[in-house]
Amino acid sequence: MIYYVSKAFWLIAAPTNALVLISAIAAFWAVLRRPNRVSWLIAAVACGLFIGTFTPIGVALKVPLEYRFAFEFPLSDSQAPPDGIIVPGGVGFEGLAVVALLSHHYPKARLIFSGFHATVEDMGKNRMFAQLGIDPTRIHLVPSRTTSEDAFYAAALLKPKPSERWVLVTSASHMPRAVGCFRVAGFQVEPYSVEFTTSRSHPFTGFAPSSAALSQLDTAAKEWIGLIAYRLMGKTDTLFPGP
């Protein structure tokens, strides 16, 4: 009994949830007392916050992004080894660990880290590379600021050929946009998705209203808006790049 009471209490008392609830109540109170355009605008914003926090809309938007491509990259000796492994900026420790695994499996493949600069943070990543057993002499750093720049600056440096194989390692939700950009830049990329945050078969299992739900919504919205914007600007050749 105490367990359920504590869960119900924290559902309301968690600072983010409490602020959203108070905002929603205040907004609808204002609409009831003095309906005008400002009141309705405030109510719409509060309603959006409420939906983002207390419903799994963020998860629903991330699932098609994360599972657009195959779950795992096949480590097959029957295929020609890849010419290189590309890692866009923003990849976390899981992605770096996968790169370490692939670099050992394909010792002749070039390692391209785009969006990395000679900063204190990236010097820390260099130490992490060494700890993971990644040979620094195989690493090519490509300074860039966006996914599109990741692809085009890497292409300018590496001049990929249609016959070459390139493994692309990035977060599952970011993979469709990254694949689209690298294809337009001339790379024949094979996706290796990492850092999944949802389950394909049971995506809503374990969902709990919290600020994490808003974070999921932010990430999903960024990718969907990015896909639309990149298609309109011609940085990808299709709205939702797929296999």
pLDDT digits (tens, 9 = 90+) for 30-55: 667 776 766 676 777 777 778 888 88
| Phi, psi dihedrals of residue 119, rounded to the nearest 5° | -110, 175
Q: Mean pLDDT across the stretch 168-195?
A: 93
Q: Inform me whether the pLDDT recorded for 15 exceeds 60.
A: no
Q: Which of residues 124 and 210 earns the better pLDDT score?
A: 210
pLDDT surpassing 60 at residue 219? yes
Judge whether 70 and 150 are in contact, CB under 8 Å. Answer: no
Residue 60 reports pLDDT greater than 60 = yes
pLDDT band at 3, cuts 50/70/90?
Answer: very low
Count the residues in the chain.
243
For residue 108, the SS3 value is: coil
CB 209 within 8 A of CB 54: yes
pLDDT at 103: 87
Q: How far apart are CA 170 and CA 176, in angstroms?
A: 10
How much of the chain, in percent, has pLDDT values that exceed 90? 26
Q: Classify each residue of 126-157 as buried b or exposed e, where b means 16 or more C-beta atoms within 10 Å of its C-beta.
A: beebeebebeeebbebbebebbbbbbbbbbee
132 Cβ neighbours under 8 A, 6+ residues apart: 96, 97, 99, 100
Structure confidence at residue 76 (pLDDT): 57
User: Is 179 or 125 the better-scoring residue by pLDDT?
Assistant: 179
Average pLDDT over every residue of 168-182: 94
Q: Identify which has the larger pLDDT, 22 or 175.
A: 175
111-139 per-position pLDDT tens digit: 998 876 544 345 555 666 677 777 777 78
Average model confidence (pLDDT) for the chain? 80
Render pLDDT for 61-113 as a digit per residue (tens, 0 to 9).
999 999 998 766 555 555 778 889 999 987 877 888 888 888 888 888 889 98
* Sign (positive or negative) of CA dihedral 67, 73, 74, 78: positive
Q: By C-alpha distance, which of 139, 194, 192, 152 is closest to 168?
A: 192
The predicted model gives 143-150 an average pLDDT of 87
178 confidence band (pLDDT: 50, 70, 90): very high
Q: Give CA–CA dist 56/140, Å, rounded.
A: 39
Q: By percentage, how much of the chain surpasses pLDDT 70?
A: 76
Q: For the domain bounded by 69-200, which CATH number is listed? A: 3.40.50.620
CA distance 42 to 34: 12
Residue ranges per domain, the chain? Answer: 2-65+208-223, 69-200
Q: What is the DSSP string of 162-231?
A: TT--EEEEEETTTHHHHHHHHHHTT--EEEEEE---S-SSSTTTT---SHHHHHHHHHHHHHHHHHHHHH
Q: Residue 210 has what pLDDT? A: 77
pLDDT recorded at residue 182 = 95
